Structure 1
Amino acid sequence: MGFSNLIYLWTAILPLIVLIYYFFRKKYKDQPVSSTIFWDEVMQETKASPYLKHLQRNALLYLQLLALLLFVLALMNPFLKTSEIAGEQSIWIVDTSATMLVEEGELTTFERHKEEMISLANELSGRPVTIITTGEEPKVIVRQETEPSAIHKAINNLEVTYEKEQLTKAIDMAQAFIGDTSTSIYLFTDAVERGELPIESENIQWIVHGASEDLKNVAITRFAATATEENALALVQLKNETEEEQVTELNLLDEKGNVLVTEQLTLKAEEELTKTFDTLPLTSVLTVKIEVDDHYEADNTMMTLLGSDMSQIVIDQQMHQLVQKGFQALNTDVKIAPSDQLEAMKDVVVVTNQTELLGKTDSPLVLIGRNDEVAEEVNSLVDVSNDALFAFSSLEDVYVNSIYPAFDQFETIATIGEKPFIQRSARGDIVILADIQSTDWPLHPSFPLFLWGLQNEMVEGAQNLGTFSPNESRAVPLAAGEWSIYSGEDEYVSSIEGGSEFQAPIKPGVYSIRSNEEEKRFIVQLSPEERTIQEGTSFELGTIQNGGKEEETKQSFIQWLLIPILFLLVIEWEVQRRRGFAN
């Protein structure tokens, strides 16, 4: 608070003059009288409330002093210093990923950020604001908006979408709105490295609002299961992200929510623990939950689908013996078939190197090597993505002598150098662009684990749609016609046309998709990046034309002083009227 007209401080002498006048006004002397018998009742009332009587006698003095003091204060023009957002415009990038649900006391990080945005919206002072949310496809919620009510409505409607944050894409979109305009970009996220923010322009200032520090989390990072003829086998991987020992209760549940296994686990500081559970009862959906005292609940649950019966695996008899023996060690229901009979196979998983079978058979296909191309020599290490296929198998130490050319339309999930090594087709076929005999892969523990994960994914894909990330778009094998998506609680979610691109729901959980004649299940699961939290970071980076600081404005409140002054004058006039102006 301050005063812009201190020159009028001299008017403070006015209330002093009034006070001095009351000190030297005419006073009355006490005069004894012959009889006071009738005054006793009046005197008793006066003694009972002396302060009220004093206020009544001096009300005019107090009213005049208070009115004059407020008048002097108004002459000096008092003001409050308020800060405003710097720059000619403001861009807000809002992280809507699952990690924004970390609890910070009574509020989540996302709810706290919304409160901060509402506070900032009151400081825009007419500056335009653009709000962008993160995700695979960043969205512009409002663009160059100056109306406070529209901005507040947009903030209140923001929701967590559980998608991977993809900050780079949102930042690239924000760059398109900047141009040559000085801009303050507010980034509402949990954590971001300074090096991830572009600061080439002198007209941009970054203000990062991160999560709180000292957050603790224990997460389920991996979960996979497979069914045999009589029971199910499950692998669970837990990670303690804190620097203290954590005790957690792990529960495995069937599709009806019945607890199959309960186990108390103790995780050391920053420990990663893998547990195996065998001889589990067969169930179509298997869920793992942990009960632990941490700040992030979304990563304490994970689900997987199991087929009610195992699809048969058929291996091309031309394939190397290592491939045949590898699958037979995992599953006794493996058959070897001649190459010319594979195209007619139905309801099986086919393992071959015949490229011409791609797209010709309805069965899921595992292509190991190619019979239509010549392999090229390579000399580099294998680099895998975060694909679920590599959940329990690491390929960093695998040596590969030569690889085949890649398929242009397929998704690459593992590379050697910059060349594709393992790919996935749009319908879910897996392609390994090398012959097993040209690698030392079978000598590594990752080989049977990879085959186990491969078998689990291919069998699941034959009976169900599989596992998706929140809001993920993917081509899936659905017959033509209308399909409806329902949640695990049998609530309608949306509808799609068969043959079109499938988009998964936002919230994690088990879903089913139905047509008139068929029903398939699928799971929406948090991506691996959303199953870990980082230490919160808040900072400012870069400068703009006004020095990179928030602009300060002086907001006068003289109008709020004039109203009580007028009110006091009215009361003073009424007191004078009741006493009589002659007195």
Structure 2
Amino acid sequence: MGFTNLLFIWTAFIPVIVLLYYFFRKKYKDQPVSSTLFWDEAMQETKASPYLRHLQQNALLYLQLLALILFVLALMNPFVKTTEIEGEQSIWIVDTSASMLAKDGESTTFDRHKEEMKSLAKALNGRPVTIITTGEEPKAIVRQETRESVIHKAIEEIEVAYEEEQLSKAFDMASAFIGETATSVYLFTDSVERGELPIESDKITWVVKGASKGLENVSITRLVSTALEGTTLALIQLKNEAESMQVVQLSLLDGENKRIVQEEVALQGGEEWSKTFEDLPMTNLLTATIQAKDDYKMDNAMVTLVGSGTSEIVIDQQMHQLVQKGFQALNADVKIVPADQLLGMADAMVVTNQKELLQKSASPIVLIGRDDVEAQEVNALVDMSQDSLFAFSSLEDVYVSSIYPAFDDFATIATIDEKPFVQRSPRGDIVILADIEQTDWPLHPSFPLLLWGIQNELIEGTQSLGTFSPGESRAVSLSSGEWSIYSGEGEYISTVEGGGEFRAPATPGVYTISSKEEEKQFIVELSSGERSIQEGTSFELGAIQNGAQEETTKKSFVQWLLIPILLLLVLEWEVQRRRGFAN
């Protein structure tokens, strides 16, 4: 704080003159009168306290002194120094990842950063600001905006998106707005290394606002499960990122949220702990939760779909090489095995033409052709149903010279000349009733796409879409038509079209997607990078050369002194009026 017009400091003598006037004004001496002595004795208890009486007698003096002092301050023009943001424009990059929800006391890092942005908005002084949120697809929610009300509204509407921050993509978007303009870039995140910032330009200064230091975290870093001989096998891994020991309560819940495991785990500082739980009750969904005294709760729960254990693809050595190459192009876990060894294969998807494996093998089977009957000639186009297997592959232009007889108790999902061509067994096996060499199918784009659909269905399962990261876009096997997404609590989320790219919801949790014919589950889970918090970092880096430098302005507050001066004058007038102007 300072004063612009110190020349007017001489006016401070004016209140002194008024004070001296009151000292030398005519005074009256109290003189007792005999006729009033008894009245004085009776009225002692009704008199005001000496302090209040003194104030009543000298109210006008105090009001005048206070008004004159404020008037002297107003003449000297007091001001407050404010520092404006450096540069000709400002760009704010806002981290909206899940780790921003780590709490320091009652406030999260994200909320604290929003309050800092609101304060910075007042210091822009007309400079334009651009606000960019992070994620797989960074978004500029405000572009070159100067109106403070619009900026405040945009800040209020920013929400955590739970995606990984992917700061490099946000930096690339910010560079498009910088150009040759001197710019101050504010990065609101939890932690970032100095080497990650692009500082090759001398027209940029970086200001990093990080998370609070000393945050503690215990997280579930891994949860996998599989069905094994009528039971569930689960592996869970915990990590204590704090320096001190933490005692946590670990619970495992089944698909109906019934607790099937409860255990107390003591974790030393920095310790990673893992354990395998065997012979758990059979369930389609497994949830792990921990109760810990830490500052980040988002990684204290994890959900997984209980898989069938199928993880690799085994192909009959007698199958055509185009089938072998097709699956090898889609999946690295492909083995070529002699025909007589396929029956002993477990926990694998088997591709063969041996019909007997449909009854004898416990593994999911892809039967391409048959080895027990002769093929029959056909001359027609393929007619497909609206099955999810054909969501990304069309067989309408595929030429087939002959097909094998169909299985009576299998569901037909594609036909040729009204004869079954592709079937699905009651347990989910896929049957293609033609040898690859009897078709021109490998010459069509639908060939690898259908192989991918078969792999996705048999490995991931027909009852689920699998696990997604928040907001992740991925191709999934959904038949054409409308599909509705519901949360685990049955709340409607959105509607998507089958046969196109699927984008997962942004909030972690268990979801159900359903059409008129079928229903599937899927999970949205935090990525591994969001299951950890790092030491908070705040710093400034770089300086703008030959551009607008950081400026300090003097903000006067004379207008705030005029109001109390006017109010004091009104009070003086009222005191004079009550006492009588003649007095």
- Report the TM range for the smaller structure's normalisation: 0.7 to 0.9
The unaligned stretches of length 5 or more in structure 1 are 353-360, 364-409, 411-424, 431-454
The answer to whether the 8 A contact 1:306-1:460 is kept is no
- Aligned residue for 2:212, secondary structure, equals coil
Question: CA-atom RMSD, angstroms?
Answer: 3.6
CA distance in 1, matches of 2:350, 2:492: 41
Please tell me whether the aligned partners of residues 252 and 287 of structure 1 are also in contact (alpha carbons under 8 angstroms): yes
Counterpart for residue 348 of structure 1: 364
User: Aligned runs of 1:365-380 on 2, under 5 Å?
Assistant: none
| CA 1:193–1:38: 2 relative to 1, 3 Å | same
Pick closer, same or farther for the CA change 1:427–1:298 going to 2, 3 Å. farther
Structure-2 residue corresponding to 1:407: none
**2 CA distance for matches of 1:179 and 1:55?**
67
**In structure 1, distance between residues paired with 2:161 and 2:75:** 54
Distance apart, 1:63 and its partner CA = 2.0
Listed one character per residue, the Cα deviations across residues 226-282 of structure 1 (whole Å, up to 9, x for unaligned) are 112311111112222122222222211111100111222222222222211111111
Cα offsets for 1:283-306 (capped at 9, x unmatched): 111111122211111111111112
**Aligned AA (2:119):** S
Shift in CA distance, 203/505, structure 1 to aligned 2, threshold 3 Å: same
1:60 Cα shift? 2.2
For residues 171-214 of structure 1, what are the alpha-carbon distances to aligned partners after superposition, in whole Å with 9 as ceiling and x for unaligned?
11011111122111111111000011111222211111111111
Q: Distance in 2 between matches of 1:124 and 1:107?
A: 25
Higher radius of gyration, 1 or 2: 2
Cα distance, 1:17 vs structure 2: 1.3
DSSP 3-state at the match of 1:497: strand
1:214 aligns with 2:230: no
Query: 2:197 matched to which residue of 1?
Result: 197
Question: Where do residues 214-233 of structure 1 align in structure 2 (5 Å cutoff)?
Answer: 214-233=214-233
Q: Residues of 1 paired with 2:456 and 2:46: CA distance?
A: 96
CA distance in 2, matches of 1:501, 1:490: 23
Q: Secondary structure at the match of 1:71?
A: helix
Instruction: Report the Cα distance in structure 2 between the residues aligned to 1:327 and 1:133, rounded to whole angstroms.
Output: 54
Q: State the match for 2:273 in structure 1.
A: 273
- The aligned runs of 1:116-127 (5 Å cut-off) are 116-127=116-127
Cα distance, 1:277–1:495 mapped onto 2, change above 3 Å: same
Given the superposition, is the C-alpha separation of residues 101 and 574 from structure 1 closer, same or farther in structure 2, using an over 3 Å criterion?
closer
2:111 is aligned to 111
Q: Tell me, yes or no, if the aligned pair for 2:349 and 2:458 is still in contact at 8 Å.
A: no
Write the mapping of 1:111-510 to structure 2, written as runs, cut at 5 A. Answer: 111-306=111-306, 315-317=315-317, 319-320=335-336, 331=347, 337=352, 348=364, 429=452, 459-510=459-510
Contact 1:220 1:239 in 2 (8 A): yes
CA distance in 1, matches of 2:317, 2:12: 106
Q: Is 2:30 the counterpart of 1:14?
A: no
Q: Which amino acid is 2:535 matched to? A: E
Query: Separation in 1 of the partners of 2:103 and 2:342?
Result: 46
Q: Is the 8 A contact 1:250 1:262 kept in 2?
A: yes
Size of the alignment, in residue pairs?
490
Shift of 1:48: 4.2
Cα distance in structure 2, aligned partners of 1:133 and 1:488: 28
CA distance in 2, matches of 1:268, 1:351: 52
3-state SS of paired residue (2:35): coil
Structure-2 change in CA distance of 1:347 and 1:35 (3 Å): same
Unaligned runs of 5+ in 2: 319-334, 369-387, 391-444
In structure 1, C-alpha distance between the alignment counterparts of 2:182 and 2:285, rounded to whole Å:
54
Aligned to 1:101: 101
- One-letter amino acid of the counterpart of residue 62, structure 2: Y
Cα distance change of structure 1 residues 54 and 43 upon mapping to structure 2, 3 Å threshold: farther
Q: Is the 8 A contact 2:316 2:338 kept in 1?
A: no
Identity, in percent, stands at 65
Q: Which residue of 1 aligns with 2:82?
A: 82
TM-score scaled to structure 2, two decimals? 0.76
Give the letter aligned to residue 498 of structure 2.
Answer: G
1:96 Cα deviation from its structure 2 partner: 0.6
TM-score, scaled relative to structure 1 = 0.76
User: SS in structure 1 opposite 2:91?
Assistant: strand
**Distance in 2 separating the partners of 1:529 and 1:194:** 19
CA distance in 1, matches of 2:307, 2:490: 20
Deviation at 1:527, TM superposition (A): 0.8
Measured after TM superposition, the shift of residue 27 of structure 1 is 2.6
CA distance in 2, matches of 1:335, 1:559: 84
1:92 match: secondary structure: strand
2:397 alignment counterpart: none
Q: Note closer, same or farther for the CA distance 1:537–1:326 as it changes in structure 2 (3 Å cut).
A: farther
CA distance in 1, matches of 2:344, 2:548: 66
Q: What residue identity is the alignment partner of 1:521? A: Q
Instruction: Return the letter of the residue paired with 2:181.
Output: T
Match of 2:416 in 1: none
After TM superposition, give the deviation of residue 55 of structure 1 in Å. Answer: 2.2
| 8 Å CA contact retained: 2:357, 2:365 | no
Query: Are the counterparts in 1 of residues 303 and 523 from structure 2 also a CA contact under 8 Å?
Result: yes
Secondary structure of 1:58's counterpart equals helix
